[in-house]
Amino acid sequence: MCSSKQILLPLHFQMSFRVWLFFSLLYFYLVRLLSFALCPWLTCLAYASDLSLSTTQGALILALMNITQVFGQVGIGYLSDHMSSYILLFGSTICSAVVVFLSWGFSNGFSQLLTFCLLYGLSAGGYSVLYCRFVTALTDEPAMGLFVYSIFEFERGLGNILAGPISSSLISKSIDGHAYGIAKYERLIIFVGVTFLVSSLGGLGYFFEHTCFQFPFICKKHTRPRSEDSQLVESLIQQS
């Protein structure tokens, strides 16, 4: 255990979370959001069009990705009740990077693109359910939890805004159906895969999960059992 020294924020929130974990999660979370936003949700239909697929096939691919995302969220949500969120963070981002590099990069037809959307939705789509788990790793207080959660949501919007200009700068004009990423999306695919790999480094927090660094004013009060974490998650969901 560690001593609990707190300060008062302007909005009277108590600063009771670990600053080193907070800023590291902010960084890896923003990187992860960039890779997630840049991936098929922005470019799926355009990619299908450049492969000369019909609008029906493009819509089917997009629908499959959204459906598998639901299954990914349910799966990761269930696992988050039984294992560390850092392990899930690492596994989700590493699997997403592999899927992007090997499946999306070599998709040059309808069946390959359909397979990619299936795998991507399962591996990357469930990441958002970890938001509340990250909050419970940072604070014991429901009010502060909502404050931290709002920061994560702000980063989510920021990532979506940045995704547009970044993707447009990475997409080229030439198309080669036999090249990696059909040439046009090669740089985008590499960028997305690399950002997923960088984001996976956030999983290293697993080794420091129960460590308390003595910062002057920030320290988590105590280590709670997972049942109390679940109660705080439910409280955050109800209040948000």
The tens digit of pLDDT for each residue in 131-142 reads 777 777 777 777
What is the rounded radius of gyration, in angstroms, for the C-alpha atoms of the chain?
A: 20
Q: Rounded distance, CA 126 to CA 152, Å? A: 16
The mean per-residue pLDDT over the stretch 13-23 comes to: 52
H-state helical runs in 81-109 = 85-99
Average pLDDT, the chain: 75
Tokens 């922005």 sit at which residue?
42
Global pTM value: 0.74
Q: Which fold has domain 19-239?
A: Growth Hormone; Chain: A; (1.20.1250)
Encode pLDDT of 74-131 as tens digits.
998 888 888 888 888 889 889 989 999 999 999 999 999 999 989 988 888 777 787 7
Residue 64: both structure tokens together: 């499959």
What ranges do the domains of the chain cover? 19-239
Expressed in angstroms, the distance from the first to the final Cα of the chain is 30
Q: Is the pLDDT of residue 156 over 60?
A: yes
